Structure 1
Amino acid sequence: MSLARYKQKRNFGETTEPFAGKPAKGKHIFVVQRHHASRLHYDFRLEIDGVLKSWAVPKGPSLDPADKRLAMQVEDHPYDYKDFEGTIPKGNYGAGTVYIWDKGTFELLRDDGKDFDKEALKEIKAGDLKVVLKGRKLKGEFALVKMKGSEDNAWLLIKHRDKYVKEQYDSEDYTPQRVKEQGLREKAAGSKKKAPSASPHRSR
Structure 2
Amino acid sequence: MDTDDVRRTPTGPGQDGSGSDGGAPRFVVQIHDARRMHFDFRLEVDGVLKSWAVPRGPSENPRDKRLAVPTQDHPLAYQEFEGVIPPDEQGGGTVIVWDQGTYRPLSHDERGTRVSFEEALERGHATFWLDGAKLHGEFALTRFRVGDEGPGHVAWLLVKADDDQAVHDRPGTPDPYHARSARTGRTLHQVEAAERQHTG
TM-score (normalizing by structure 2): 0.73
Helix, strand or coil for the counterpart of 1:147? Answer: strand
Residue among 41, 44, 48 paired with 1:44:
41
Which runs of 5 or more residues in structure 2 are unaligned?
A: 1-18, 195-200
**1:194 alignment counterpart:** none
Between structure 1 and structure 2, the one with the greater Rg is: 1
**1:158 alignment counterpart:** 159
Query: In the aligned structure 1, how far is the partner of 2:68 from the partner of 2:54?
Result: 5
Query: In the aligned structure 2, how far is the partner of 1:111 from the partner of 1:126?
Result: 11
Show the 5 A alignment for 1:22-61: 23-61=20-58
Deviates more, 1:149-158 or 1:44-53: 149-158
User: Contact between 2:129 and 2:137, CA under 8 Å: does it hold in 1?
Assistant: yes
Instruction: Report how far residue 109 of structure 1 moved.
Output: 1.3
Residue among 63, 69, 72 paired with 1:72:
69
Instruction: Report how far residue 149 of structure 1 moved.
Output: 4.6
**RMSD of Structure 2 on Structure 1 (CA):** 2.5
Equivalent residue letter for 2:48? V
User: Contact between 1:36 and 1:183, CA under 8 Å: does it hold in 2?
Assistant: no
Query: In the aligned structure 1, how far is the partner of 2:107 from the partner of 2:186?
Result: 39
- Asked if residue 172 in structure 1 is aligned to residue 146 in structure 2, the reply is no
Query: In the aligned structure 1, how far is the partner of 2:192 from the partner of 2:103?
Result: 32
- Extract structure 1 runs of 4+ deviating beyond 2 A: 148-153, 180-186
- Looking at secondary structure, tell me which structure has more helix per residue: 1
Equivalent residue letter for 2:155? A
Residue among 81, 97, 100 paired with 1:103:
100
Which runs of 5 or more residues in structure 1 are unaligned?
A: 1-21, 187-204
